[in-house]
Structure 1
Amino acid sequence: MSISGNKNILFFQNSILPANGGVPRVSDIISKELIRRGYKCYFVFYDKDNNLYASDCKLKVDFKGNYQKLEMDIMRFAKEKQIDVFLCQNTYYNPFIKVFKQLRKVYPFKPFLCFLHASPDYWQFSFKEKIDFSSGSFLKNAIKKIAKKIVFIFRNPYLKTTTALYDLCDKFILLSDSFHESFLEIYQKEKKDNKLLTIPNPLTFDKYLLMEEISAKQKIVLIISRLEESQKKILSALRVWKLLPKSTRNSWKLMIVGSGPDEAAYKNYAKEHNLHDVCFTGQQVDVIKYYQQSSIFLMTSIWEGLPMSLLEAQQNGVVPVVFDNFSSVYDVVSDGDSGYIIKQNNVMEFRDKLCELMENEGLRRQMALNSIKSSKGYHVSNIVDQWERLLSSKYADVKAINPIAK
């Protein structure tokens, strides 16, 4: 399928290294498929580089330097590469927004597209979250949270930058239909014909786990995540694990893959509570082997967009048990069929459903098969078909499409 023909697309993002997070991984997967279909993809970024990308297709910029030089370098790069479409991948820094405004003036008829790779209200969770009084620094955290909430009444940078990008762009793309209503309410926008669209993330891997490989899985419960408590809430998973009956836990292992600022705190918690069956692997480049050998996947995040790790788990038959803290989870997981969705951070229900899966091999196997089947709608070819409609010169035919028929 090719709608737009050979176009030159310029991605703006923080990093172009796939291992550095979900957004660079999505861009890497999508751009490779677009290139395979005849497009040319270029990148402006400010953080982690990728040595596998040709030097003439990327421009690394420095926000700490002179703004005029930053703008001049980007404008020169856009002109030199004859860019047809400008695409913002979750990039909300003010220097970029200033550049985007200039690009709109110089190229008023070239499409400018913006993606939000999070739930619209992701920044609000820091206010809603309960303070953990068991922490020695709870008073400090409470003061910071209250101060932030007061400041945000008068000046909310998230509202300001997201609103600016929405007003600048031709199309604003969310990861789930379920995000549309809250976006319009939070950012006080009226519904416009076809301006707010949905395109979900694609699967990471080319191949699906084979049916016969499910029986070879080990008794491993898997977490693949950035180890940062403010969003990922790994401490909740560790508490659930501690609450499991020892007779159930005896033959299982909880494997936590990833790194982050709270890694040491998690290790200390596991040590203090004698959780010897918890294994921390650190950051891993090649994560597919962990999916392939694991049986159950845990996600305890307080917010997400459409998490790549959840799609990756299902693609590899790792049955998810997930808190429903983000509405898009219902796009991916069919509760009781391809995994379990636990409501309102209910730790005891989480423990019970996890225990049920660990103790019932037949149930795990059936849910694994269902997970693989349901993930196929997110294959990169299906998702890039939607991107191609988005990249077409006319937007009238672009519609929000959820590839999973529930």
Structure 2
Amino acid sequence: MNILFYNTYPIDPEHGGTERVTDLVASYLKSAGYTIYYLVRVDTGMPQKETDIQTFFLPDCTKGNSPKNISFLEQLLKELKIDILINQDVWNDDVYLCNHKMLQTNVKIISTIHTSIDSGFKYFNELCKLEYSWDNPLLSLRSLFRRIRLPYLKKRIYRQKKKKMHFMHQYTDVIVVLSPKYIEEFEDLIGISGSDKIVAIPNPLTFSNLEVKKMDQKENCILFVGRLSYPEKRVDRLLYIWHKIQDKLPDWRLELVGDGKERGDCESLAKKLELKNVFFRGYQSPLEYYSKAKIVALVSNFEGFNMFILEGLQNGCIPIAFSSFAAVTDVITDGVNGCLVEPFDIDLYADKLYKLASDPSLLNKMQPLAIQAAAQYSIERIGCKWIDLFQSLLDN
């Protein structure tokens, strides 16, 4: 069976969660005897991880469903004798390329959604950065105008998303979401029920053959791994939380692994708050940081099926997160293998984080349950779900 994975950007597992998941699933399928190809729209020109999976690039990087790209993809599907096309980036307008309305093909088309269906609409105001400054009246005026426009912006984006989801449901064979909870979210969004075209397959674990350190072998480290991006990740919250508890945890440190356009703002905020024992590590391979950390902290507005939490659990770290996306309860059971906090109660989050860090017996008790929770997401289990989906598609 020949499978073509499509993504806007190159499939480099070090450059993003979607890319990492694609690499994991594609490599598993290749080891199971499937023939795998990648198709990419935008060549970033950045050095990529070496792979034995052949990558093709669309001729027009500016618009997914341009006539050039449609013709190129139709021809590629024929030449490679593709059985299944998997679109890994449906939130972009590339959903209007990988579908049966645009493509004259009998190839089965799967659309995968790598985030929550809600994607922050429930907390829409939290997505927009509002800045006020007596020293810069123009900045304050822009922020005020943005605040006034928020309800109209929310309605517009909601309509666009609903239209896109309707199109996806009508013109692709299967939609894969990350949690059974997102099936209901999707159906609610477009006003249907009982669809047999939506299935849930979660993300797999990133690492294999790990030797997990026991808590007493780890360091007093609270860890964040991810993009320093305001709308989704809201790392500024973690800095405010640390400010509340740092003096009570003088032998602990906060490490932030990752980069992004908000890094400068985060570093400035840390300086303004006079934070101690905070380290911005930049873009790094995270495994060594997971190995030594005791706690992983997520403060996002929304996620899909967060790889950071999964990777933390797998490495014997105890997660704490806001319950701001439905799938978080698939992996974290509050008070059992981690901590959940009502969005976005920073005081309660700080209190729970302090209690977790200051109670070694609680960390020791939770650790085996954290590792156990992660085990159900092994690549073998998740890979089998994908294979079962392929078989059901081709049998119909």
Fold match (TM-score > 0.5): yes
For 1:40-82, what per-residue CA distance to the aligned partner results, in whole angstroms no more than 9, with x for missing partners?
A: 1111112347351347443354332793222222222211111
Aligned to 1:338: 337
How much has 1:140 moved relative to structure 2?
2.3
Which of the residues 108, 111, 123 maps onto 1:111? 108
1:122 aligns with 2:114: no
Deviation at residue 98 of structure 1 after TM alignment? 3.6
Q: Please give the residue correspondences for 1:284-323 in structure 2 after superposition, counting only pairs within 5 Å.
A: 284=284, 286-323=285-322
- Residue by residue over 1:307-354, the C-alpha shift from the partner in whole angstroms, topping out at 9 and shown as x without a partner, is 111100000011111000001110001110110001121111111111
Equivalent residue number for residue 51 of structure 2:
53
Aligned position for 1:274: 274
Matches within 5 A, 1:58-207: 58-64=56-62, 67-94=66-93, 97-98=96-97, 100-101=99-100, 104-107=103-106, 110-122=107-119, 124=121, 127-129=124-126, 135-136=132-133, 137=139, 139-144=141-146, 146-147=148-149, 149-150=151-152, 153=155, 156-192=159-195, 194-207=196-209
Counterpart AA for 1:227: L
Superposed displacement of residue 154, structure 1:
5.7
1:33 & 1:70 partners in 2: Cα distance? 28
| Residues in 2 aligned to 1:315 and 1:100: alpha-carbon distance in whole angstroms | 36
AA paired with 1:183? F
What corresponds to 2:22 in structure 1?
Answer: 27
TM-score, length-scaled by structure 2: 0.90
Q: Partner residue of 1:222? A: 223
Asked if structure 1 preserves the Cα contact closer than 8 Å seen for 2:337 and 2:367, the reply is: yes
Cα displacement string for residues 265-324 of structure 1 (whole angstroms, at most 9, x for unaligned residues): 11001111111311000111x210000011110000010000111100000011111000
In 2, Cα distance between equivalents of 1:82 and 1:391: 15
1:41 alignment counterpart: 36
Letter in 2 for 1:241: W
CA RMSD of aligned residues (A): 2.4
Q: Distance in 2 between matches of 1:177 and 1:164?
A: 21
Q: How does 1:351-370 map to 2 (within 5 A)?
A: 351-370=350-369
Which of 1 and 2 has higher RCO (CA within 8 Å, sep 6+)?
1
- Aligned position for 2:136: none
Q: Return the letter of the residue paired with 1:356.
A: K
Q: Could you tell me whether the CA contact under 8 Å between 2:215 and 2:367 is conserved in 1?
A: yes
State the shift of 1:369 in Å.
1.9
Instruction: Tell me how far apart the structure 2 counterparts of residues 295 and 195 of structure 1 sit (CA, whole Å).
Output: 40
Runs (5+) with no aligned partner, structure 1:
1-6, 398-406
Conserved 8 A contact 1:174-1:196: yes
Structure 1 residue 145: Cα displacement: 5.5
**Residue 223 of structure 2 aligns to a residue in which SS?**
strand
**Greater alpha carbon shift after TM alignment, 152-161 vs 320-329:** 152-161
Change in 2 beyond 3 A, CA 1:138/1:382: farther
Question: How far apart are the structure 1 equivalents of 2:308 and 2:71?
Answer: 38
Local SS of the residue matching 1:251? coil
Structure-2 change in CA distance of 1:374 and 1:54 (3 Å): closer
Distance 1:154 1:278 in 2: 39
TM-score, normalised by the number of residues in structure 1:
0.88
> For 1:229 and 1:154, how far apart are their aligned partners in 2?
21
Q: How far apart are the structure 1 equivalents of 2:227 and 2:128?
A: 21
Q: How many residues align?
A: 385
